[in-house]
């Protein structure tokens, strides 16, 4: 009888816990808005956007299930457009991309996601659908953008649109076989593979080229993403010479090329700028470094923007070995960077605060798991994109921005790290 009673109590507790969890999710979902408009771009231009698929016939994709698959990238281009451009707004995330990013989720996952995230079809961006480039005689600086491992590049729209509104052409690429699902214009979908998305936390071979990481399994991913940027830059040169649409012919300043990215995309930007002389400046948004740049550093303008984690202010003796390895490598790289500042810390931020996902997900759950920080999600994006623009204005346009001179009363969340 006692055993039956114990099982009865356990069943009741389990039922009560399940009901409580469901109720918690429902309440959070009720509080979460059903639609969203991204922060408004702040520059003088309207923003245009086109999406194209570019295939690199010189490369076999090492992550594809079939061994003869050429590397093919969906490429998203945000660019300055005239204020009176008549085109309608582009969908934030086209339906084909939504379907590719969420391929057949289990019922429980779908239940939670539907209540705690905003339907991507209900998000309003500001880019217009394929308008003409803004008129003028000069070429616009070019920025190559890579997203985090699990994100589509369009999930960096708040940043890309703002940069484009200030006169940059932002060229982002998705990552077949690494992102959960990548959609091509003709309806094909490339789903994630183990080769393209190795386990981040699994124990494995520790490498000095991946400081602070439990394994070096993402080194091949960064290498492929660097090659993606090289290939895209080559194609942009072709467009600048003779764009069949006429949109970009002679309008790209390929002597003013920068790279940026979030998370592993930031690592790819860092390694790309180290390897390719065409990259004049770069930004890494809260990404760990990977590759040869860790050993040799980077002798060109580069900016790390990071969440202000406790390890940045703690004595080395109190840190874990991975934290010490990361900070040692970071300091070694920063010693060669000629620009200042080279490291900015965003107080109250966490990893997800650097891309659109921070706005699309009910924040309570993600704060409990440490993915979002205490800072208002919109404020975090506004601050980050202001400093990214200041950096590229300074180092690609030759327009020094005093915001980079030191702490600013308008942005008390930003700490300059010496």
Token pair belonging to 3: 């055993």
Per-residue pLDDT at 398: 97
DSSP state of 89: B
DSSP β-ladder status, 128-129 and 189-191 = unpaired
User: Closest Cα to residue 144, out of 166, 126, 165, 160?
Assistant: 160
**% of the chain at pLDDT higher than 70:** 89
Residue 15, pLDDT > 70, answer no
Per-residue pLDDT at 2: 53
- H helices of 243-374, where? 264-275, 293-296, 321-334, 357-360, 363-368
Per-residue pLDDT at 106: 57
Per-residue pLDDT at 203: 78
The residue-averaged pLDDT of 163-179 equals 98
Dihedral angle computed from the Cα positions of residues 381, 383, 384 and 389, in that order, rounded to the nearest 10 degrees? 120
Ordered by where they begin, the domains of the chain are: 48-416 (3.40.50.1820)
CB atoms within 10 A of CB 79: 31
Q: What is the DSSP string of 120-153?
A: GGGEE---EES-PBPP-SSPEEEEEEE--TTS-G
Q: At 282, which helix (H) or strand (E)?
A: strand 279-285
The per-residue pLDDT for range 69-125, each reduced to its tens digit, is 999 999 999 999 999 888 999 999 999 999 988 765 554 555 555 556 788 889 999
The per-residue pLDDT for range 364-373, each reduced to its tens digit, is 888 988 889 9
Burial class (CB in 10 A: 0-12, 13-18, 19+), 331: exposed
Residue 11, pLDDT > 80, answer no
- In whole angstroms, how large is the CA radius of gyration of the chain? 22
Of 26-30, 196-200, 210-214, 344-348, the least confident: 26-30
Per-residue pLDDT at 201: 80
User: Closest Cα to residue 165, out of 275, 90, 78, 106?
Assistant: 78
CB atoms within 10 A of CB 127: 29
Per-residue pLDDT at 186: 95
Burial class (CB in 10 A: 0-12, 13-18, 19+), 322: middle
Name the average pLDDT for the chain: 90
Sign for the CA dihedral angle at 251, 256, 257, 263 comes to negative
The residue-averaged pLDDT of 273-284 equals 98
User: Closest Cα to residue 220, out of 65, 63, 326, 325?
Assistant: 63
The upper half-sphere exposure of residue 411, i.e. CA atoms within 13 Å in the direction of its Cβ, equals 22
Per-residue pLDDT at 418: 82
Per-residue pLDDT at 28: 41
The residue-averaged pLDDT of 320-333 equals 95
Contact 79, 170 (CB under 8 A): yes
Instruction: Say which residues have a Cβ less than 8 Å from residue 166's Cβ, sequence separation at least 6.
Output: 41, 42, 43, 44, 45, 389, 393
Residue 198, pLDDT > 80, answer yes
* Residue with the larger pLDDT of the pair 272 and 107: 272
User: Closest Cα to residue 93, out of 138, 153, 42, 46?
Assistant: 153
Per-residue pLDDT at 24: 40
Residue 38, pLDDT > 60, answer yes
Cα–Cα distance, 378 to 361 (Å, whole number) = 12
- Residue labelled with tokens 């930031």: 266
Q: What are phi and psi of 120, to 5 degrees?
A: -60, -25
Contact 356, 157 (CB under 8 A): yes
Per-residue pLDDT at 78: 98
Cα–Cα distance, 280 to 380 (Å, whole number) = 26
Cα–Cα distance, 17 to 29 (Å, whole number) = 18
* Residue with the larger pLDDT of the pair 264 and 28: 264
Per-residue pLDDT at 247: 95
Cα–Cα distance, 367 to 364 (Å, whole number) = 5
Q: pTM of the prediction?
A: 0.90
* Residue with the larger pLDDT of the pair 125 and 1: 125
Beta-strand (E) ranges in 16-66? 36-37, 46-60
Q: What is the DSSP string of 354-372?
A: GSTHHHHB-HHHHHHTTSS
Contact 143, 249 (CB under 8 A): no
Per-residue pLDDT at 17: 44
Measured in whole angstroms, how far is the alpha carbon of residue 329 from the centre of its chain? 22
Instruction: Say which residues have a Cβ less than 8 Å from residue 247's Cβ, sequence separation at least 6.
Output: 50, 132, 133
């Amino acid at each position: 009888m006692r055993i039956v009673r114990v099982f009865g109590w356990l069943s009741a507790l389990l039922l009560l816990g399940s009901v409580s969890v469901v109720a918690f999710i429902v309440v959070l979902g009720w509080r979460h808005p059903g639609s969203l408009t991204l922060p408004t771009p702040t520059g003088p231009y309207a923003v245009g956007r086109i999406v194209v698929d570019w295939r690199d016939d010189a490369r076999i994709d090492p992550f594809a299930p079939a061994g003869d698959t050429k590397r093919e990238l969906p490429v998203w281009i945000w660019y300055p457009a005239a204020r009176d451009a008549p085109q309608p707004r582009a969908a934030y995330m086209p339906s084909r991309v939504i379907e590719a990013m969420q391929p057949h989720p289990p019922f429980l996952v779908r239940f939670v996601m539907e209540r705690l995230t905003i339907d991507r079809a209900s998000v309003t961006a500001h880019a217009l659908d394929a308008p003409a480039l803004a008129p003028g005689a000069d070429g616009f600086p070019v920025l190559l953008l890579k997203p985090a491992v699990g994100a589509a590049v369009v999930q960096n729209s708040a940043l890309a649109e703002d940069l484009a509104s200030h006169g940059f052409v932002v060229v982002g690429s998705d990552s077949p076989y690494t992102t959960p699902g990548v959609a091509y214009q003709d309806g094909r979908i490339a789903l994630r593979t183990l080769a393209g998305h190795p386990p981040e936390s699994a124990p494995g071979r520790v490498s000095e080229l991946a400081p602070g990481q439990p394994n070096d399994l993402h080194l091949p991913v960064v290498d492929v993403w660097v090659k993606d940027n090289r290939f895209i830059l080559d194609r942009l040169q072709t467009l600048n010479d003779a764009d069949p649409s006429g949109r970009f012919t002679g309008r790209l300043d390929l002597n003013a090329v920068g790279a940026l990215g979030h998370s592993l995309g930031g690592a790819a930007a860092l390694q790309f700028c180290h390897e390719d002389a065409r990259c004049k400046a770069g930004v890494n948004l809260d990404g760990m470094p990977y590759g040869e740049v860790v050993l040799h550093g980077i002798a060109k303008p580069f900016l790390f923007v990071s969440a202000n984690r406790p390890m940045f202010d703690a004595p080395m003796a109190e840190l874990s070995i991975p934290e010490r390895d990361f900070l040692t490598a970071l300091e070694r790289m920063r010693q060669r960077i000629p620009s200042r500042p080279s490291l900015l810390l965003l107080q109250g931020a966490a990893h997800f605060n650097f891309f659109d996902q921070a706005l699309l997900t009910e924040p309570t759950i993600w704060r409990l798991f440490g993915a979002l920080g205490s800072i208002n999600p919109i404020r975090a994006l506004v601050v980050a994109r202001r400093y990214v623009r200041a950096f590229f204005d300074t180092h690609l346009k030759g327009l020094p921005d005093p915001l980079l001179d030191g702490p600013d009363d308008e942005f008390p969340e930003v700490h300059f790290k010496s």
